[in-house]
Every structure is written in C-alpha cells, then in structure tokens.
Amino acid sequence: MPKRVIRLSLVNVLLLCASLAPVAVRAGSSNSLLDISADGRWLAAANRDNGTVSIVDTQTNKVVHETAVGHKPEGVTFLGDTARLAVSVYGDDKVVIVDAAEGKVTGSIDVFDEPYGVVSTRDGKTVYVTLEFPGQVAEIDVDRMKITRTLDVGPFVRGLALVPDEQRLLVTEYLTGAVVTVERGSGKVLERLVGASSDNIARQIVAHPTRPKAYVPHIRSRVNVNRGEGSVVPFVTVVDTNVHEGKRRAPLPMDSFIGTFVVANPWETAISPDGSILCAVFAGTDDMYVCAVLDDDYRELSFRKGIQLGHNPRAAKFSPDGLSLYVYNTLDFQVVAYSVPSFKKAATIDVCQNPLKPEVLRGKVLFYTALEPMVGRRWISCSSCHPDGDADGRTWQNPEGLRNTTALYGMGWTHPLHWSADRDESQDFEHTIRSQLMQGRGLVRNRNIPDALGEPLKGMSSDLDALASYSNSHHTPISPFAKSGLSDAAKRGKELFFAASVGCAECHSGPYFSNSSTEKPYKLHDVGTGNDDPSEKMGPKYDTPSLLSVYRTAPYLHHGKAATLMDVINQNTGDKHGKTSQLSPEQKQDLVEFMKALPFEDPEPAARAAGLVKIE
C-alpha cells in the first residue's frame, strides 16, 4: 500500500507546515452567499431577495454598505488579498465587481447565462463562475474585465470550488449531484463523478485545505417513496479529489448521523481554515451540524454539536483566522457570528431589510420549512421539490400516477393547477401538507377541509393564503435562446407552431402558451400520452401545460417519459398531439428551436392586455 503511505505523509507535512506558519493554511476557494476578505476585515453577504450585497465591518459587526448589484445575486468571492469582490448576479446574467471599502460597483461583465457559483484565484486576478445554463464555467480576467475562456462542463452546473493548489476546478451539477473535475491549465474535463441516480439539488462544494477531499451538500429525491419518511433524504457526500480509479464518493446520510435525528435540505457546508471542522447548514430544519473532520477515509466526519439557527439558513463561512463562523439566516435577513471553537453566538447582524410583502415573506418561510405545521417528520419541505420555484427534474410516483414536477413560474396566470387540473387554487396545497408526503398538521384549524375542487380554501387561514401568495409570485425567466431575438430556425418554428395545419396553438395559446382557464368545465385534452401506465388514475386527459421556460424543465409530459422536446414531437402517435406526421426532421427541429426560445418577452404585459387576471 505504498500509495496510501505517501499520501498520509504528505498530509502530515502539510499539517506541520500549517502549524509552523504564522497564518493558517490557505484554503482553496468555494462558492457561497458569504465571503470574508483575506485580512478578516470585511464580510460580504449576497442578498438574493434584495438584489444587493451587504458589506459588514467585522470589527464592529455593523453593515457599512449595502450595494445594489442586480436581480438574485447567488455568490460572492473576495479577489485575493484585496477588499474587492466579485458577485454572480444570477437573474441579470452578469458578474459585478464591488469595492467593499467604498461600497461601490467598479465593474460589470455580461455572461451567458445564469451565473451561480463564483470563486477567485489567490492572486485575485482570475475569477471563475458557473453558468447554470447552458452548463459552462466562464474564466474572467479581472484586470481586463474580459472572459478569457468558456469551458463546457455539463448541464445545470452550480457548485464551484478551486482546489488548494489551484490546478483544478470542482463543479457540481445541480440536478444530478455529479462532481465534474476540470483541469485549469487545459480547460479540459478530467472526469465526471456520478453518485446515485436519486442524487439531486447540489448547489455547493467545498474543498478541504489539506486532504484530497471535497464536500457536497445535497439531497436524494427518492421518487418511488410517497411517504414523508425517506422520500427526500439529506446528504453530505465526500468526494476524493485525486484523479484515480476506484471508489471515490462517500455519501454520508445526515438523517442517521446522530441516531435518527432528521434534518432537511442541506444547503451549504463550510470548512475551517485548518481543515479540522466542517459545518453543514440545513435550510429546511433551520439547524446546523458542527462536525470534526476525520482523516480516516472511512467515517470522514464525526458529529460534535447541533446548533439551532434562524429561518432558512443558506450559507456558512469561517473567517480566515478560523476564530469565527458566520451563518446567513436568509429569511431573517440576518447573519449570525459564532465564536470558534465554542460556537457561542457572538453577534447578530441585520444585513438588509425584508424587501418582500409581509404576506409573501410569511409564505416563503412556510414554503421552505420542514417543521410543523407544514411537515410532520422533518424530511421534506415544498422547496425540496420546488427549490426557488424551479422544478427538481424528477418524476414522482404519486397516488394518482406518474407526475413530473412542474416549475412554479407564472402559475398565478395558469390556474387550474396540476397536470390533471385537480386543484383550482394554490390554497389547495393544504391537501399536500396533510398528505402522507408531508404529514403536516396543516395551516387551516378545521379538521376537515373542503375537497380541492369544492368550496374555496382561500380565506380560511392567513398562513395558507400567504403560502399561496408566495407560490403565485414566481416570474418566468426570459429564455437564454431569445436574448438576441429569435434565430432563423426559431422564426420558422414559430410559423409552424401557429399554422392551422400543425395546430399547436389550438391548445398552447395566449401569452402563456396554454388554454388553461378557471372557467368550468375545464378544457382537458387526450393527446395520446396517458394510456399505457397502469398506475395512472386520472388520465388520459390533461390540462395543457404552459410552454414558457420549457428549455429548462426536462423531462417532459406528465409522466416525464419525453427526455427532450424532440421526444415530445416524436412520441406523437396518430397526430393526437398536434399534427406532426407530415413534418420533415428539419421542420421538427425548427419547432423545437421555437419552443426553446420561450418566453422571448415578458408575458405579463400581454396577459394583462388580453384581459387575463393574475391570481395573487
């Protein structure tokens, strides 16, 4: 076993260096909503709901600047030893540079598309950013504010870490939990390390400062389990970062980490600069595990402490001296500082104001929590399957049949709800809360509640109305395929889509590309998709889904059996789903290009002009 001996001694040497050196080991860089400058002076927090970055002076624990950066900032990273930082602005497709001392934006660069994780090299000259769509890493030269390379990595990439020697980047795929290793020099993908097929929602990765390991918080979506217990399972997966054959992923289930205490929705992990402590925050159960990092290649982590946090904690970061840990309770709009190693609360910092209407904020808190009255046994929350209103890319075996998770964009305009239109208001999700899946007490006091299509539940509980308001509040992002207008292929596809001889717009009509309407009787259609599944209890007629944002919501159809938009067309038998048998392969491709470009404009003004009313 010579290999192992060499590796261990290397670790020992590094540890020895660490203990001799005046400053702690310089860790690599990893994506987070929080970062702290190398001198420990400034803390930066990306405020996703406000579109700002707050700069906290860590000597006074006061916010000194709150700087507007754009919609949905998802990551911050200080540039080397400077007081400047890069911010990934997910909603506006740009990376912004902020001077923390001045609180000013000093530069901005457009990226294509949806920048999420952002990290900087130690010299502060180069920034890397994951582009969730179309699945790339962009390399930015900060001095010249230029994109020097764009590396193709994989679909829906979010998490990003630079290993300590800065030779490789580690990237996580959001909807598979796969970890992709990219060699910095060549820009090549060296390997893609895949976990279980149920691995899901991996939005962050941190690299250990000395061990060849990285840590990925994620869930498993176990689509065949329709009971709360074990349907969504929390994990931190430890990944071997050396490139070699053999077993490389150690998935550590967080629900059985200390007895059977269940936590939900691991969001970020943080590692102390000396590599001895790992913290994982759980955004569903509002708590955090403090773990000792073991150098055993087997148990990997050992539980030390559980800490109760505030609402929806999404980020944690150690200070460079390792003496403080900062945690961001995003729905309290507060960062809490803990002293290390006691983990006593040292300060509570209000980082920004709540920008949401009180009702929407209340609804958001309920949507993200895995605690009562929403959830009985702590495993799951609405956000486990609809994180930030997105779909989880999964098809669940529900009691009524196979059901692909829908994104919640624009749903205030497209009631009734569900593939089978079996719900007419968002308040009907009280039935989901009380179901086997969530086993919550529910938000309505009455023991018995009306059927989903019966008397309205609206008005029965202010909390339930708040949950509905939040659910109805999601906007539809403009398609990246339509940023510079429709391509020629998409224009040809548009002609076909609206042609009577093809007939798509008979059902996919109006600004939301759906004829769904709350007028009764509901218009349900048999498009030949619901006949061959013995578990189906409600088909074969379905509500016409909106086609906005279909570029990012694969797989398709209620049963999720169409992996691509082309598959939807190719699975059309007997021209029951529009008339497509006469189309050439090129024409079908044109149709696909058009659908990928939806929406090419904000649908809300057109919807208002057409007299439609949004359900708030």
Task: Point out which residues bind ligand HEC (CB under 6 A).
Answer: 231, 380, 382, 384-386, 396, 403, 405-406, 408, 411, 414, 417-420, 426, 429, 432-433, 437, 467, 471, 502-504, 506-508, 525, 527, 529-530, 542, 544-545, 547, 550, 553, 556-558, 565, 568, 577-578, 580, 591, 595
The least distance separating ligand HEC from the CB of residue 515, rounded to whole angstroms, comes to 8
The least distance separating ligand HEC from the CB of residue 430, rounded to whole angstroms, comes to 8
Retrieve residue 174's tokens: 């959001």
Retrieve residue 246's tokens: 């053999």
Nearest to 86, CA basis, from 136, 139, 135: 139
Retrieve residue 531's tokens: 């006949």
The least distance separating ligand HEC from the CB of residue 97, rounded to whole angstroms, comes to 38
Closer CB to ligand HEC, 460 or 467, in the complex: 467
Closer CB to ligand HEC, 111 or 550, in the complex: 550
Asked if 416 and 483 count as a contact pair (C-beta separation under 8 A), the reply is no
Distance CA 276, CA 287 (A): 20
Asked if 172 and 179 count as a contact pair (C-beta separation under 8 A), the reply is yes
Distance CA 246, CA 193 (A): 11
The least distance separating ligand HEC from the CB of residue 203, rounded to whole angstroms, comes to 17
Distance CA 274, CA 288 (A): 20
The least distance separating ligand HEC from the CB of residue 126, rounded to whole angstroms, comes to 39
Asked if 490 and 522 count as a contact pair (C-beta separation under 8 A), the reply is no
Is the sign of the CA dihedral 200, 204, 206, 212 positive or negative?
positive
Taking every pair of Cα atoms in the chain, the longest distance, rounded to a whole number of angstroms, is: 77
Closer CB to ligand HEC, 8 or 563, in the complex: 563
Distance CA 385, CA 387 (A): 6
The least distance separating ligand HEC from the CB of residue 251, rounded to whole angstroms, comes to 20
Asked if 85 and 100 count as a contact pair (C-beta separation under 8 A), the reply is yes
Closer CB to ligand HEC, 25 or 411, in the complex: 411
First to last CA, the chain: 64
Nearest to 164, CA basis, from 40, 275, 269: 275
Please tell me whether the peptide bond between 480 and the residue prior to it is cis, using omega within 30 degrees of 0.
no
The least distance separating ligand HEC from the CB of residue 304, rounded to whole angstroms, comes to 30
- Please identify which residue in the block is written with the tokens 């040497």: 13
The least distance separating ligand HEC from the CB of residue 48, rounded to whole angstroms, comes to 19
Closer CB to ligand HEC, 29 or 406, in the complex: 406
Closer CB to ligand HEC, 300 or 425, in the complex: 425
Closer CB to ligand HEC, 92 or 392, in the complex: 392
Asked if 102 and 73 count as a contact pair (C-beta separation under 8 A), the reply is no
Nearest to 43, CA basis, from 288, 346, 309: 346
- Please identify which residue in the block is written with the tokens 């020629």: 488
Closer CB to ligand HEC, 240 or 465, in the complex: 465
The least distance separating ligand HEC from the CB of residue 581, rounded to whole angstroms, comes to 10
Distances (CA, A) of 455 to 98, 450, 460, 524, 613: 52, 6, 11, 21, 21
The least distance separating ligand HEC from the CB of residue 496, rounded to whole angstroms, comes to 8
Closer CB to ligand HEC, 510 or 545, in the complex: 545
Tally the C-alpha atoms within 13 A of residue 514's C-alpha that lie toward its C-beta.
30
Closer CB to ligand HEC, 251 or 545, in the complex: 545
Closer CB to ligand HEC, 297 or 506, in the complex: 506
The least distance separating ligand HEC from the CB of residue 608, rounded to whole angstroms, comes to 19
- Please identify which residue in the block is written with the tokens 């940023």: 483
Distance CA 488, CA 492 (A): 6
Closer CB to ligand HEC, 82 or 432, in the complex: 432
The least distance separating ligand HEC from the CB of residue 469, rounded to whole angstroms, comes to 11
- Please identify which residue in the block is written with the tokens 């893609």: 192
Q: Which residues contact 416 (CB under 8 A, 6 or more apart)?
A: 422, 423, 424, 516, 518, 522, 543
